Structure formats: C-alpha cells, structure tokens
Amino acid sequence: MGSKTPRSSENLTGTTLLGKYELGRRLGSGSFAKVHVARSIETGELVAVKIIDKKKTEEAGMGPRIIREIEAMRRLHHHPNVLKIHEVMATKTKIYLVVELATGGELFEKILRFGRLNEPAARRYFQQLASALTFCHRDGIAHRDVKPQNLLLDKQGNLKVSDFGLSALPEHRSSTGMLHTACGTPAYTAPEVIAQRGYDGAKADSWSCGVFLFVLLAGYVPFDDSNVVMMYRKIQRRDYKFPHWISKPARSIIYKLLDPNPETRMSIEAVTKTNWFKKSLKISEFQSSVFEIDDRLGKLSSESMTAFDLIALSSGLDLSGLFQRRRRKERRFTAKVSAEDVVEKAKKIGENLGFRVEEKREARAVGLEKGRTTMVVEAVEVVEGLVVGEVKVAEAAEEEKEEEESHWSELIVELEEIVLTWHYDDEVADESVENELA
C-alpha cells in the first residue's frame, strides 16, 4: 500500500482489532454481523470491517455463501468497479472481512433521495456495471443478484459491485455449463432462474441489468406486484410501460434485455457495442478495465490465507446479516401439472378438509377459509412447460396461531401430490435486503 496516509478525521474508538485495525463508528448491523469503519494501523487507510458471528451463522445453516462471497471477491479483486476485499481474518468466535470503504453509500439510497436519474448519469452507472459484469463473466462468475441495493458508490461517485453471496463460480456449473439454483430478488430475477432446469448465469445477469437500467431512468421497477405469482405473469407477458421521457435507443436496449426467452435475450457484451452505450464513453478506459487487467488473482497476506483456510474448514458460515427475511407465511413451488389443475387440486383439497372455497377464475387462484384463517393458492405458467404456484396465509387472527399452523400443515401435505419442487427461504432471497456496507 506504499507510504502511510495522513490520519483521518474519522472518529475512532481506540479499540484495536487483532493489532491491525482501529475500529470506528458502526455503519450498520444485522442478525449475524455488524459493520464498522476502521483505520489500518500500518497505513492509515480507512476501510470497512464486517464482523461476523460464527455461532449465529453456523446455526443458520447457510455455510456456502460466505465462502462464495470471499472467493468471488478475491478472483475479481483488480476490477475498479468491484468492491475490493483487503483481507480475511478469523478467531474462534468471529470472522473479520476487511473491504474497501464505499463512502458514497448505496446507489439505491441515491435513487430514493433524488428519484430517477437523467440519461447521461444513468448511462454512466450502467457503463460501469457492464464493465464489471463483463469482467465477471469472462472469469466464469455470475453475480445473480444485481440490483441498486448491491451497488455502492465511492467518494468519487464511481460504482462498486458488492454482495457476491449469491454468485455462481465456474465450479458451480453442471457438466453442461448451466446453473440450477433458484436465487435472487424476484423483481430483478430472470424468469428462467426459478425453473431450476438449467440456465446461463450471464444471460440471467443481462435480465437484471435491464431491470436496473429501467429503474435508473424511470425511478421504479418495471414489474411491480406484492403478489409474486402476478409479478411472474407480468414478466411472462412483458407487461410494463415506458415513461415518455425515456429515449427510443434506451427503450430498445431495455426491451431486448427484458426478453423472457434467454435464447433471444440481448447479452451484456452486445449492449456494449450499441451507439447508446458508447456515447460519452472512454472506450480505451472501458477496454482496459475489462480486458487488460492483470489476470493474477489479488493475493491476500499469508495470515489472511491461513484465516481463509480455517474458514473453509468450518461449516455453516455465511454473510447472512445481509439478508433479513420476511416472516409472513408463504411458500412457492413448481408444479407437475398445469396452472388450471393446481387451482382444481386446491379446490378439492379445500372441500375435502372442510374449507369454504372461493375460486378466482380470472387470476387462477382459490381462497380457502376455515375459522379465522384464510389461505390462498395461486398458479401461473411462467414459461412454456413451467408452472409456478404460491400458497400463503392471507389473513389469520394473531391469537389463533395454533389453528393457523394446523390448517397450513393440512394444505401443504395435500399439495405434495402435484408439487415438483418447493422453493424454501434459503433458495430464493427476499426483496427485503439490508446492505451493511453502505
């Protein structure tokens, strides 16, 4: 890191971490981790330190994600638009992830504060994201959770891609080169990802980039519905409208990125060749960041490598504090039968179990009511041959939790006959995500 930098005016607590960092104010906290600003005692450089509780993450049973996060960031260490990892340290009870301090916070917060961006500003962020993702894909890494909440800004306002906990590394692909895990945030996730029949991670990232560009220019997501099944139906139909202020070239790119068919969807590489993308872009700078970066992986110190080895030998470790799930009762599934047959099955189950049944034909849904509990089963054909259903408690009295649980269990057991795959909470990340590195 060279010569020492001047001591920052950042308020520090005087607490030292393993003799290497002086901790400062807390930037954020979650169920499994907390993040502090810190100063390197050796260089004076300000960094962010994520302090992860081993016991809590082990109990959460989400082991692969922290290893995946660290490994992806190490492999992408040299790209200027990827949040840099400095080192990883570990004790018996804690893991310390030391990363670049992004003082500009989340891009998401900027959008909330100022609303939609003008086209030149949106294009600049999109160019930097495309540069980072092109580099990721060249290295065989798919991010799989691209959204403004996972994109940070440095003090110069440059974009930094973070949160690689859901990323896929080359070794995660099947023999056909395809991925199979359903993950991501519903409003930003490509329709083929939920199918679990094999998908191209780079093309899935392309879809998310289309949503991202729409959000930058419009100030809201194109497919927005609190009902996930209805959202999938909108995605399938390309049911969204462009605000009048978005230019025709930008509309064309978004439309081609938001193609439900991954075979015909525009790739990020193809976007970089369009005139709209190239406008105001320093091509030499873009090419340098993508194609001429030193291929050597960023090497951590020998102490960090030892810590990483220790972490790799541990089980159940993850940056779980980034994900705070909703507690409402709901579960999604892929079905063996048509959407109509899912509804018919739910009706018969309800009748046999003594529920009052109310069918909603226009929405391919059925309501089931018994006592003070109301549940809903819905279904939609997302792509040809793929039916996604959702069962949820629409209403229940707070004091009747035991009744609710009983009715829920009855319904889930009976639905097993038509369910191909249940999508549990650890397979599909929720929209509610707290980014602690802001």
Q: What are phi and psi of 66, to 5 degrees?
A: -70, -35
63: CB partners within 8 A, 6+ apart: 57, 314, 315, 316, 317, 318
Q: Which of 94, 68, 154, 115 is nearest to 438 (CA)?
A: 154
115: CB partners within 8 A, 6+ apart: 219
Q: Does residue 128 contact residue 282 with C-beta atoms inside 8 Å?
A: no
Q: Distance (Å, rounded) from C-alpha 207 to C-alpha 295? A: 27
Q: Work out the end-to-end distance of the chain between its first and last CA atoms, rounded to an integer number of angstroms.
A: 24
Q: Per-residue b/e over 247-266, b at no fewer than 16 CB within 10 Å? A: eeebeebbebbbbbebeebb
Active-site position among 145, 163, 205, 318? 145
Q: What are phi and psi of 297, to 5 degrees?
A: -65, 145
Q: Does residue 57 contact residue 317 with C-beta atoms inside 8 Å?
A: yes
Q: Is 145 a catalytic residue?
A: yes
Q: Tell me if 370 is assigned to a ligand binding site.
A: no
Q: What are phi and psi of 393, to 5 degrees?
A: -85, 115
320: CB partners within 8 A, 6+ apart: 30, 31, 32, 33, 56, 57, 60, 62, 65
Strand partners, 330: 392
Q: Does residue 165 contact residue 322 with C-beta atoms inside 8 Å?
A: yes
Q: What are phi and psi of 334, to 5 degrees?
A: -95, 145
Q: Distance (Å, rounded) from C-alpha 129 to C-alpha 112? A: 19
What does the angle CA 206 – CA 209 – CA 212 come to, to the nearest 5 degrees? Answer: 160
Q: Which amino acids are annotated as binding site for ATP, given as ranges?
A: 50
Q: Which residues are catalytic?
A: 145
